Amino acid sequence: MKRTLYIVNPTAGGGRGLATWRVVSRALEARGLPAEYRLTTGRGAAIELAAEAARAGYDTLVAIGGDGTVQEVVNGLIGPDQDCPAALGVIPGGTGNDFSKMLGCTGDPLQALSIVLAGRERRLDVGRANGRYFINIAGVGFDAEVAGFLNQRPKRLPGLLTYLYGIVTMLFRYRPAPMTLDLGRERLEQKCLLVSVANGPSHAGGLKMCPEARPDDGTLDICVAGDVTRWQTLILLPQTFSGRHTRHPKVRIYKAVKTVRITSDLPLFLQADGEIFGRVPAEFEVVPGALRVLAAAPADGDAAGVAGPGI
């Protein structure tokens, strides 16, 4: 019988992580299935729990929380040699749950549990920024400043509302910063509102910075928003919900990128999946097929084999 460990962030989504686990544990009990779990105790705890579980020989690790929790589990699960000894399941219970949508989760914890118990595996890419793995998007600039601002405050609102609150606040505090981007085939030196490096199409509860990014194509998509004004930012913001911001003349999308390096004379923050973990210079790369995930059956016509509305 496969050994499964549930890693639960009880404070994710203002307590939704713990509430979700209670629903899941009752469902497991009703089915006569083991419900072995560990509760995280703070930032970084899920990394240690996942690493310990991987060493202990668990077959499946299930993250219950938001994208930040999932990212920590991934960083504990994937070893330095890029080996992934266990499959990852996700049951959304946080502020932003974009990664779980890519696995075919609707947001219903029982539906997500059914996906986990079905045991259907897929291989997905992960990004890596200065040695840290990310699942959705990493970046520098306005996005990172918003993340830094929000990380200092409790997450009591739904993911999108929380992110909007941070955006409105930082609109009055941050201006486009000079950056140098080395994309391998092209070098840019300009002021940028933000640079987003995407493994998946959305983050922060549904913002589609790189709407065509796929986590199974072996590459990254890069969104570069240049020297836009505060009012232009206000116009662009609602367009990120649909991806129409990519049509703006000061926004460029670079596709099929393997690596990118970002430098600046300013000590800009670096964020990955909404978590601040350093400053520039920053080096990003894709690690193809590094992550084993449990996902819903692919929809008809999904040649890549990844389910979910996020793809």
Q: Is the same domain home to 172 and 39? A: no
Q: Is the same domain home to 34 and 100? A: yes
| pLDDT band (50, 70, 90) for residue 300 | very low
CATH of the domain at 187: 2.60.200.40
| b/e map 169-180, b = 16+ CB within 10 Å | ebbeebebbebb
Tell me if 302 is assigned to some domain. no
CATH of the domain at 97: 3.40.50.10330
Q: Is the same domain home to 184 and 72? A: no
Q: Residue 55: in which H helix or E strand, if any? A: helix 45-56
Q: What is the pLDDT of residue 63?
A: 97
Q: Is the same domain home to 162 and 102? A: no
Q: Is the same domain home to 153 and 265? A: yes
**Tens of pLDDT, residues 57-90:** 999 999 999 898 999 999 999 977 778 999 999 9
Tell me if 248 is assigned to some domain. yes
| pLDDT band (50, 70, 90) for residue 299 | low
Q: Is the same domain home to 225 and 194? A: yes
Q: By mean pLDDT, which of 160-164, 296-300, 301-305 is the weakest?
A: 301-305
Q: What is the pLDDT of residue 157?
A: 56
**Does a cis peptide bond (omega within 30 degrees of 0) precede residue 80?**
no
Give me the percent of the chain exceeding a pLDDT of 70.
Answer: 91
Q: Is the same domain home to 153 and 267? A: yes
Q: What is the pLDDT of residue 7?
A: 98
Q: What is the pLDDT of residue 155?
A: 59
Tell me if 216 is assigned to some domain. yes
- Domain of 177 in residue numbering reads as 133-288
Q: Is the same domain home to 27 and 57? A: yes
Tell me if 38 is assigned to some domain. yes
Q: Is the same domain home to 77 and 22? A: yes
Q: Which among 252, 224, 234 has a CA at the least distance from the CA of 170?
A: 234
**Residue 177: pLDDT above 90?**
yes
pTM of the model: 0.88
Q: Residue 140: in which H helix or E strand, if any? A: strand 137-141
Q: Is the same domain home to 147 and 67? A: no
**How many domains would you assign to the chain?**
2
| pLDDT band (50, 70, 90) for residue 236 | confident
Q: Is the same domain home to 218 and 272? A: yes
Q: Residue 150: in which H helix or E strand, if any? A: helix 142-151
Q: Is the same domain home to 138 and 64? A: no
Q: How far apart are CA 120 and CA 7, in angstroms?
A: 20
- Looking at the chain, the number of H-run helices and the number of E-run strands are 8, 16
Tell me if 155 is assigned to some domain. yes
| pLDDT band (50, 70, 90) for residue 100 | confident
- In angstroms, the Cα distances linking 78 to 38, 47, 164, 297 are 19, 10, 32, 24
